[in-house]
Structures are given as C-alpha cells and as structure tokens.
Amino acid sequence: MTAVTWLTVWALAVTPAPRAPLDSLYRPAAERLIGAALSSDHAMLRLSQLCDGIGHRLSGSPELDRAIAWAAQAMREDGLEKVRLQPAMVPHWVRGEEHAEMVEPGPQQLSILGLGRSVGTTAGGITAEVVVVESFAELDSLPADAVRGRMVLFDVPFTRYGETVRYRSQGANRAAARGAVAALVRSVGPVSLRTPHTGAMGGYVDSLPQIPAAAVTLEDASMIHRLLKRGQRVRVHLEMGARTLPDTLSHNVIGEIRGWQKPDEVVVVGGHIDSWDVGRGAQDDGGGVVISMEALRLIRQLGLRPRRTLRCVLWTNEENGTRGAQAYAESLGALVGKHVAAVESDGGVERPVGFEFGALRIGTDSTDAPRVAQAVARAKEIGRLLAGLGADRIADSGGDADIGPLMRKGVLGVAHRTTGEHYFDWHHTPADTPDKVDPIELRKNVAALAVMVFVLADMPEPLVPPPGAAAAAAAAAMRPAAARR
C-alpha cells in the first residue's frame, strides 16, 4: 500500500463522523410528546388544583406548606423517582391590614398593596402631605424642606420591568434618605384597572430610617399627580400592619426520571411554587410549576427515559428571597459539576415563543460568550422541532432568578419564554388567577418544554461541557506534559 493510501486511511480513522442534526434524531420522540401534550387537559386540572384548591402561597404561609405537600404527592402519583422535600429557611413577612385614604382634597379611598419586606406604620397610621417625583434624579434635586416629613410618590410610567422595578425595590430607601415618612410607588405594570401590583422591596439600609412602602394604582398615582400640578395640596392617611416574623422552615419539591446511561449527569427543570399573597399565582408561577411537572409526567408515560437524569425542582421563596434556589445550589457541592443544564419557567404561560440560553463564568456574573454561542448554535436544531408550536426561537441572554445560583457555578441556564403580551397586566396582582390562562396555550407550553428538556437530557453529548468537565479540562491543561502522557 502506498504512503498516500496509508495517509488516507489514517485520516478517515481519526476524523470524527459528522453529528446527526438533533431535529432529525429526535423528531419521532418530539412528535409523540407534542401529540400527547396537545391532547391532554391534565395540566389545566393541575393548575386548578394548585391555584383554586390551595390559593396564594406566600413564604411562611400554611397555603405554601399545603402546596408543597400537594406537589410531592402529585410527583409520586406520576411515578417520578426519588421524590423528596429539601429544607430551606425562608423569610416570613405578613401583610396585615392596610388602608389608604386621600384626606385632602377628599376624602377618597386609595387602592394600595404594601410592598414585601415593608415595615408597618405606627398605631393609628401616618397622615402626611404628598410630593410627587418622576425619577430618582428629580427626588434628589428637590430642596430638603420639600421632602422632609412628607410621603414621596414615585409616579414613573412602566417601560420595561427591569428598568421600572427599581423604584419599587429602592424607592423607600431613597425617600428615607431625604427625610420622607413613607413611600408610595406607582404599580410596576402597563395597566392596572385600579388593581395595584405588589412585589418585594430590595431591603432596608441599616443607616437609614425604615419607612413603610406601598404600591398605588396607575389611576390613583395619576390623579394625585394631576392635583399637584394644579397647585392643589394633597394629604394622604396611610395605615399598614405589615411585619416580619422570624424565618421559618419551607421546602423545595424534587422528583426525577433517572437516566439510563449517564445517571450522574443532570438536567434540571422547574418553576417556583411560592407566590404573592394576592391573586392565585396562576401565571407567576403556577403555570411554570405545572408545565414542569407535566413535562416529566408525559416523558415517563411515553416510556422515553433519557440518557441523563431529568430532575424537576419546584423552588420555594423565589418572590422575596430566592432561599430555595440558594439551598438547592449549595446542597450540590462538587455535584454541581454534573449539571449539564438548568431550565426555568417563570415568565407565564401565554403563547410560547422559544428558549433563551445563557452561561456565566464560574463564580461571576459575567457572560461566557463562547459557551453561549456554542449552545445556541446547537440548540437551534432542537428549536426546529418546535416550529409547529411557534416556539422555535432560540436566542442568548437566558437566565432567571432560581437558576441564577446554578449559573454562577458554571451551569448552562435555559429560560422558557412566552410572548409576555399581558403577563405584567396580572403579575403580582389580585388578578393573577387561572381564568387568565388559555388552556390551549398551556398545552403548547407543556409540549415545548417537554421536547426541550427531553432532548437536553438525552442527546449524545451536552450542548456545552458541564462545569465539572470544564474544570477537569483546565486542570489537565495546566499539568506538565510528562504527567499527561
């Protein structure tokens, strides 16, 4: 045999075979999952059991404890393996009775919701003149005597949630720094229909007075602002019974389908089982909880056991602490290096549009762009399986609150995304109830999530090396050449 022939044979032997596109490899399984999801009303039944049967689920509440017990029992009924409760100590904030009234000009009742972590008022409440600002810069520009002893109303129109929510999280501290006695925040949402929007404050600063903070409706914020622009003095009486009790025990709910070939490698999927104490937490995040559970139920029902372990985690205390997410990540120790992906659904269950992928450098919040690009390129093959659902958009910038601690340890994060067209109309309000969930769209979300997590857990090689593999490769590269022989 000639030297040229030998070289040709050697080249063919060492050149890896081309990888089969994931959409062709997994189309039969995807079609089965999508068909099963679209023909079942089981997810809507579960959502009603959780939201109508149990109700809102604030950390520390008996309703959250009931929801956790319900979810664990449902996982057992679905035949999931290693169903367990993982303890986490969580904040216990109680709203108490609350009331607000514009007494001058007036009287006129105002619709409010105290902000999570807020202190209450003193007995009998607070009556004070109101000053309105449209930004932190405007607040800081006011003379000291224009703010001291007054209530500050932040009348900031909604643009994007991440931009506008800072007035909810930082408003009380910024107002207290100028001598205000209370903070009122225009509800963080595009519409309200006199339905206020609650949510967590960012926490008090030790060096500043702790003043009560509440959300007011768009309508009431606009009315007060108009009165002040006309030169009318506005005074408001505010009573809030909010208080914070000692931390209490809660639990994450965990169940899984054990992988048949690589059981130590894990794909996590889940949502948060807690909610605010108004509404029923249907979109935020009952829908995410239900579709995560349903994805594993259908995979198991169809006998599609994946190569890797597929684990459903329902996190506790996302809304005012993310203690459940922290407890899960911290419990893993070195095993976090075996997590090949973490998928979170916490954006409602309107029409699904796709998934966003993100990766952080280990121990930092800076993006590992090459890993993200690699994941997105390969995941677009999975996206083609979801085209019929309209859920085939695969992009970067993935990540959500409960998978954040895992991402900071190097795990690939995947965020389930929907249109979000009306999500912030209902989010954190009394209107977040199951009637806002379209049963057909809920089924589509189950289908899209089930296909995505099954392929991630079963594909021959992960989208990107898990953090453990990356660390091992880095350590090997640093060893002397002689030691690597």
What is the predicted pLDDT for the residue at 9?
38
Q: Does residue 359 register a pLDDT over 70?
A: yes
Nearest residue to 417 via CA among 353, 340, 324: 353
Which tokens hold the place of 28? 């039969």
Q: Kindly report, residue by residue over 169-185, the tens digit of the pLDDT.
A: 999 999 999 999 999 99
Question: What pTM was computed for the model?
Answer: 0.92
Helix orientation angle between 62-77 and 287-301, rounded to the nearest 10 degrees: 10
What is the predicted pLDDT for the residue at 361?
86
For 170: left if phi > 0, alpha if psi spans -120 to 50, otherwise beta; the answer is alpha
d(CA 252, CA 315): 5
Q: Kindly report, residue by residue over 270-314, the tens digit of the pLDDT.
A: 999 999 999 999 999 999 999 999 999 999 999 999 999 999 999
Query: How crowded is residue 179: how many other Cβ atoms within 10 Å of its Cβ?
Result: 16
Nearest residue to 336 via CA among 413, 401, 395: 413
Q: Kindly report, residue by residue over 245-272, the tens digit of the pLDDT.
A: 999 999 999 999 999 999 999 999 999 9
When pLDDT is cut at 50, 70 and 90, the band that residue 483 belongs to is very low
Q: Kindly report, residue by residue over 79-131, the tens digit of the pLDDT.
A: 999 999 999 999 999 999 999 999 999 899 999 999 999 999 999 999 999 99
Q: What percent of the chain has pLDDT over 90?
A: 88
d(CA 77, CA 71): 10
What is the predicted pLDDT for the residue at 19?
78
Helix, strand, or coil (residue 342)? strand
What is the predicted pLDDT for the residue at 98?
98
- Residue pair 424/158 in contact (Cβ under 8 Å)? The answer is yes
Nearest residue to 375 via CA among 462, 277, 261: 462
Which residues are part of the catalytic machinery? 318
- Residue pair 171/213 in contact (Cβ under 8 Å)? The answer is yes
Q: Does residue 479 register a pLDDT over 90?
A: no
Q: Does residue 470 register a pLDDT over 90?
A: no
CA angle 226, 232, 238 (to 5 degrees): 80
Q: Does residue 186 register a pLDDT over 80?
A: yes
Q: Does residue 2 register a pLDDT over 70?
A: no
What is the predicted pLDDT for the residue at 469?
67
What is the predicted pLDDT for the residue at 12?
40
Residue 276 belongs to what H/E stretch? Answer: none
Q: What residues pair up with 112 in beta bridges, in sequence order? A: 216
What is the predicted pLDDT for the residue at 366?
86
What is the predicted pLDDT for the residue at 362?
85
When pLDDT is cut at 50, 70 and 90, the band that residue 18 belongs to is low
Q: Does residue 475 register a pLDDT over 80?
A: no
d(CA 271, CA 56): 15
Can you tell me the mean pLDDT for 428-436?
A: 97
Measured CA distances, 292 to 16, 296, 338, 339, 448 (Å): 36, 7, 21, 17, 11
Q: What share of the chain is helix, strand, coil (3-state, %, to 5)?
A: 40, 25, 35
**What domains are there in the chain, each with its CATH number?**
20-93+246-472 (3.40.630.10), 97-241 (3.50.30.30)
In the numeric block, the tokens 């190569």 are attached to 307
- Give all strands of the β-sheet with 339-344 in edge-to-edge order: 81-94, 243-257, 308-314, 262-270, 339-344, 413-418, 352-358, 393-396
DSSP-derived secondary structure for 398-462: ---TTTHHHHTTTPPEEEEEE--SSHHHHTTSTT-SGGGS-HHHHHHHHHHHHHHHHHHHHSSS-
- Give all strands of the β-sheet with 108-110 in edge-to-edge order: 108-110, 98-104, 235-240, 126-133, 151-154, 182-186, 213-216, 112-114
Contacts of 470 (CB under 8 A, 6+ apart): 362, 410
Can you tell me the mean pLDDT for 466-472?
A: 68
Q: Does residue 481 register a pLDDT over 60?
A: no
Measured CA distances, 67 to 152, 272, 328, 345 (Å): 38, 11, 18, 18
Burial class (CB in 10 A: 0-12, 13-18, 19+), 228: middle
Give CA torsion, residues 379, 385, 386, 389, to 10 deg: 170
Q: Kindly report, residue by residue over 214-229, the tens digit of the pLDDT.
A: 999 999 999 999 999 9
